[in-house]
Amino acid sequence: MDSNLEQVIAELVVANHILFDEHVVDAFGHVSVRHPGKPGHFLLSRSMAPSRVRAEDIIEHDENGEPVDANERGVYLERFIHAEIYRARPDVASVVHSHSASVIPFGVSRVSLRPVFHMASFLQGATRFEIREGFGDETDLLIRDAEKGRYLAQALGGACVSLLRGHGSVVVGGNLRESVYRAVYTEVNARIQTQAIALGTEVDYLTAAESGAATRANATQTSRCWDLWAEQAAARRKTEI
């Protein structure tokens, strides 16, 4: 196996563990990354709880979301989320889909998820995906085919985050570490925003200009978060063994 591919797979395994440890995913949810040697393809684990993912669980998928080397390993029903976002967004190199508990209320209410502090500045312009608009009110809310994936990618547009009503969210990044950073701070911002709203006074959100400046500054700092989270994830799993 190419050494670069091995490194990407290793980081994808760590990403799964971090997202679990930081309460973004539980038994459900998934994270993918573009294949380093085949930009139209992506890497995603087999269908399993993210905290249990290992290198041997990573499966290459083609541009249509179909597994290339599953070898009888089960694949995620919602792999089309990843395939269609990658198709629509050449700038995206990693996608996280989760049912992050603090984020769900913003998808089912009329309260917009907006950045309340600088670490979540990327939330400026977060969008909403309403599956009923395209597919009626009798779906199971899952993105289980390419048509629904395309509709979701359209709803995401050029944003970093889109909320799926009654389901969860998708978060994208220009690389794996950025998507993990954004997924974690989407959850954190949702929790803080809920607390701020509960105070009963008007919330002072970041302006578009503040969000842009903060996002540019934070882009240079994602590895600081990654290094800490990866170290903690490794220590936890060593202790568990």
| 78 is known as an active-site residue | yes
Among 11, 22, 78, 178, which one carries the catalytic annotation?
Answer: 78
Whether the per-residue pLDDT at 208 is higher than 70: the answer is yes
The pLDDT value recorded for residue 240 is 61
Report the alpha-carbon distance of residue 51 to residue 15 in Å, rounded. Answer: 9
Closest C-alpha among 226, 235, 228, 173 to residue 11: 226
Distance from the first to the final alpha carbon of the chain: 27
- Percent of the chain scoring above 90 in pLDDT: 95
The pLDDT value recorded for residue 3 is 77
What is residue 196's three-state secondary structure?
helix
Q: What is the mean pLDDT of the chain?
A: 96
The CATH number that applies at residue 108 is 3.40.225.10
Axis crossing angle, helix 79-88 with helix 146-156, rounded to the nearest 10: 50
What is the average pLDDT across 113-120?
A: 98
Domain range for 192:
3-240
What is the average pLDDT across 90-96?
A: 98
Number of domain units in the chain: 1
Confidence of residue 185 (pLDDT cuts 50, 70, 90): very high
Q: Distance of CA 74 to CAs 69, 77, 219, 237, Å?
A: 11, 9, 35, 24
Whether the per-residue pLDDT at 102 is higher than 90: the answer is yes
Whether the per-residue pLDDT at 239 is higher than 80: the answer is no
The pLDDT value recorded for residue 241 is 43
- pLDDT tens digits, one per residue of 162-182: 999 999 999 999 999 999 999
What is the average pLDDT across 180-197?
A: 98
